Amino acid sequence: MPAETDSSPRGGFREYGSSILIAVGLALLIRSTVVQAFYIPSGSMEETLFVGDYLLANKFVYGAPVEIPALSEPLFRLPALRDPQQGDIIIFRSKTEAGRDLIKRCVAVGGQTVEMRDKQLFVDGEPLALPPMGKQTDRRILPGSVSPRDNHGPIRVPADSFFMMGDNRDNSNDSRFFGPVPRRLIKGKAMIIYWSSTLVSGPLYTGLPQLLLDAGNFLWNLPTLPFRTRYSRLGTIIN
């Protein structure tokens, strides 16, 4: 005899709910271990990345951190395909602000020596040129006693750590200020820009929860989105 099936509305809702839970679980698994979306909120990586760029990061290549939102540190890391390398653009957890992610370019790895001399970056005593889209816009050269921006080091990067710098060298809060980034804070490698648009500030309201402010700003920007989209940047490989 054919197996009996539950054709009642309750059975349909149960199957529908199970499908949703499986889909959500798979999405969370992929987000945690394979790929994750990130948004660029500042100009510290200009002209490589712009405010309003939305990108996907490969979390698998460096060994994805398995995280629980309530914990500041990952439970463990999956096996890595390779280590971060000089020139990689990397997303990592901030060393100074809990819960915040940063994106910078790796300029040196563990065991290398980094020094800034009058705005020129040296790695192991050799000058390292700006990235192709990098820039320095401030003609002033700040002494090391005032700021580590233009004169810093030399320092040796600790083992299993990485020295990160923004491509917009004069306007980036990076390892010159907060030091090398340990591997445990690294989340993934920037991969591709999937959306990019300029933003228009919505009307200012006070006393509203952040969720409502974000929703209001989204609705304010939505009608003009086709006219603000940077279509030429869609699908750009990040390097």
Instruction: Give the whole-angstrom CA distance, residue 39 versus residue 194.
Output: 10
pTM: 0.79
Q: Which residues are catalytic?
A: 44, 104
Domain 35-233: what homologous superfamily? Umud Fragment, subunit A (2.10.109.10)
- CA 165, 71, 58, 235 torsion-angle sign: negative
Question: pLDDT of 106-155, one tens digit each?
Answer: 999 999 999 999 999 999 999 999 999 999 999 999 999 999 999 999 99
Burial class of 87 by CB neighbour count within 10 A (0 to 12, 13 to 18, 19+): exposed
- The answer to whether 81 and 60 are in contact (CB under 8 A) is yes
Question: pLDDT of 65-99, one tens digit each?
Answer: 666 665 656 666 778 889 999 999 999 999 988 87
- Answer yes or no: is pLDDT of 63 > 60: yes
